[in-house]
């Protein structure tokens, strides 16, 4: 089999230009590997076999994108760069957005991030090339592709994928309120709260971590956001925050988290404070202690 020469063409469908700038950085700065590998950047969309598409697909761009796609020769691979191309991210629910991209194109690789690091974009393109090779040789694309560039690292302070420490969370919904891209959803069932973080909607702004009163939600420095299309909807961080049973009345209630108690009772050992008692029973007990 002859070697595939990936011919890359970038289409901006309404991005805030962050991803486009980072794409240029990835393409021209040596340390991100694309500049030194056999990737060709073509001037015309009809010569391309690897499309890099950024942006949430605005209503105005839709027909132009469709037109551009008809010029392409099959097989080609599509790499969606940026959270908004994957899920519209922060621009979701706007009247001017027709996206996300996979409504109109068969996307192969998604690179979430707002904007993704050039390292992630390079990784996304490398994975796109793998998919392209498989398409050309008629193989079936595997469910996952291992990380290709293993020598990339991020500083500890990098705002990457969010994580939750359920021990510290009380389900106060601050994160849900301040999240600009509605990537966080807290559901309730009989057992407790379920805290969901959708990594493909997250815009990695760190607002939730900043406003969280207990530090339960925090950003890790993981930038592992390059996923194949079949992983798009499963890239979720789910945490359970269980209710406790009241030792007096037996009713289920949401106990204050260690973090919250630590803020209120600065001088006490928090672990001894929580006596499994719901707020209603606690009020009653306190009332009796003071007035009975």
**Binding residues vs another protein (CB under 8 A):** 9-22, 24-25, 28-29, 31, 41-43, 45, 55-56, 58-61, 64, 68, 90-91, 93-97, 114-115, 117-118, 154-155, 157-159, 177-181, 203-207, 210-211, 219
Nearer to another protein, 15 or 243 (CB): 15
Nearer to another protein, 96 or 249 (CB): 96
Nearer to another protein, 11 or 79 (CB): 11
Rounded to 10 deg, the angle between the 18-28 and 118-136 helix axes is 80
The enclosing H or E element of 245 equals: strand 244-245
Smallest distance, Å, CB 159 to another protein? Answer: 4
Counting other chains too, the contacts that 135-140 makes at CB distance below 8 Å and 24 or more residues apart are 135/75, 135/77, 136/1, 136/4, 136/75, 137/1
| φ and ψ of 160, to 5 deg | -105, -145
Nearer to another protein, 91 or 243 (CB): 91
Sheet holding 236-242, edge to edge: 184-188, 192-198, 236-242
Nearer to another protein, 64 or 287 (CB): 64
**Which residue in the block uniquely carries the two structure tokens 């994957």?**
86
Nearer to another protein, 211 or 233 (CB): 211
Q: How far is CA 228 from CA 8, 58, 60, 141, 149, in A?
A: 18, 23, 27, 10, 16
Smallest distance, Å, CB 153 to another protein? Answer: 11
Nearer to another protein, 90 or 197 (CB): 90
Smallest distance, Å, CB 150 to another protein? Answer: 19
Per-position b or e across 210-242, b if 16+ CB within 10 A of its CB:
eebebebbebeeebbbbbbbeebeebebebebe
Smallest distance, Å, CB 208 to another protein? Answer: 10
Nearer to another protein, 82 or 256 (CB): 82
Smallest distance, Å, CB 20 to another protein? Answer: 5
- Rg of the chain on CA atoms, in Å: 24
Smallest distance, Å, CB 110 to another protein? Answer: 18
Whether the Cβ atoms of residue 62 and residue 99 lie closer than 8 Å to each other = no
Whether the Cβ atoms of residue 58 and residue 98 lie closer than 8 Å to each other = yes
Smallest distance, Å, CB 50 to another protein? Answer: 13
Smallest distance, Å, CB 187 to another protein? Answer: 20
Question: How far is Cα 236 from Cα 190, in angstroms, rounded to an integer?
Answer: 22
């Amino acid at each position: 089999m002859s070697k595939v020469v990936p011919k890359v063409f970038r289409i901006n469908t309404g991005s805030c230009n962050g991803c486009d700038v980072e794409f240029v950085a990835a393409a021209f700065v040596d340390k991100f590997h694309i500049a030194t590998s056999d990737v060709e950047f073509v001037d015309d969309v009809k010569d391309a076999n690897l499309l890099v598409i950024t942006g949430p697909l605005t209503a105005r761009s839709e027909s132009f994108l469709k037109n551009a796609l008809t010029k392409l020769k099959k097989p080609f691979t599509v790499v969606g760069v940026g959270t908004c191309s994957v899920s519209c991210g922060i621009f979701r629910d706007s009247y001017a957005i027709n996206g996300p991209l996979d409504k109109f194109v068969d996307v192969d690789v998604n690179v979430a991030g707002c904007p993704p690091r050039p390292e992630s974009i390079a990784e996304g393109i490398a994975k796109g090339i793998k998919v392209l090779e498989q398409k050309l040789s008629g193989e079936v694309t595997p469910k996952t592709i291992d990380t290709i560039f293993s020598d990339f690292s991020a500083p500890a302070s990098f705002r990457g994928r969010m994580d939750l420490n359920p021990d510290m969370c009380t389900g106060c919904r601050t994160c849900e309120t301040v999240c600009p891209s509605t990537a966080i959803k807290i559901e309730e069932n009989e057992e407790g709260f379920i805290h969901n973080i959708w990594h493909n909607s997250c815009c990695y702004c760190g607002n939730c971590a900043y406003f969280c009163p207990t530090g339960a939600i925090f950003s890790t420095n993981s930038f592992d956001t390059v996923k194949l299309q079949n992983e798009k909807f499963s890239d979720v961080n789910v945490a359970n925050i269980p209710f406790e049973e009241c030792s007096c009345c037996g009713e289920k209630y949401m106990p204050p988290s260690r973090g919250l108690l630590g803020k209120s009772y600065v001088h006490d050992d928090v672990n001894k404070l929580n006596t499994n008692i719901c707020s209603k029973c606690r009020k009653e007990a306190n009332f009796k202690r003071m007035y009975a």
